[in-house]
Structure 1
């Protein structure tokens, strides 16, 4: 199917079968491979090869870099699948691609053509300004942006395997990225401080424990 250029598109709930999903721990493990590395934006196979030779841990396949998207305006969509395939064939490192926020069909297409990571990106034109993609329905890991800890936790709840800060893409001005990083890390420190001394979290109840069975019988 991938060689013919034909991609089967499903409804939003059509990828819910257990055989079509990876566990969240597997997705997080794949995302850990990118920690501490550089992800380069590339627009063709030659740039992807240069990025790999320079030591990039992954490449982001784009038709236009964020600066061009901002300057040219219009509707920014997912990159051409043929371009993504050419970049994948040119390098051995992971290849990422962007999908519009809330556009689950674009994410399904990217998964079908064998992309390694999907970035549900605010750089592209929004498809849904209220609901993000249900990322638990996919085998591949998702990367999502955030501006604060609340946004990060919401994206993780939706199934994001890795979180990045948003910044102000395409401007070269890093102050927004710095502000977002400090906000997220500051909130994490506050939570760590207020939860100090609360003891271990409850790990659950072992239903096969004899004490639990006796208590259940007594409660009937």
Structure 2
């Protein structure tokens, strides 16, 4: 089956904020979101309620077990930003939203777990802290959903990030995840599965059942 993804490559360094969103494909799927910024360019706009439904998004409740052994039902899917709001300032932008499991997005079934390396929040929170710690440096951050054929929901999310000095020198950026791989250009690549331990997912439609 054909793997559908946009090639990974940093944006040309221009000493300014850049945000590039690939156009939706024929199925209405978001394909790539890419930003280059430093601390002073982070947006200050408030986060808005999301009402856009990306392809494959459904209201599916599954049973989850808490640490005390009790069970409860909660949503499987969320509308996940490719480039997070803290960097992009975007909310209901179809080119920046995909159907994502809550687990992939926030690292847990019902709460945020920033220590889960299989989640977007692990990398987003650390990149945000890095920008704040090194305000003179630039972050190049590309997020690409990986689809199989015509499936509506991506099976994986690829993250690619690297730092730039004001003189355009590439500086490798490592956040401490065992999923990180450094390529020949000095860019860190991470592949996150868009899955959930409690679900069997049909990526073609977004339907899922209890595991």
TM bucket (normalised to shorter chain) is under 0.3
Q: Which has the higher strand share?
A: 2
Larger Rg: 1
Higher relative contact order (CA 8 A, sep 6+): 2
Give the TM-score of the pair, scaled to structure 1.
0.23
Q: Which has the higher helix share?
A: 1
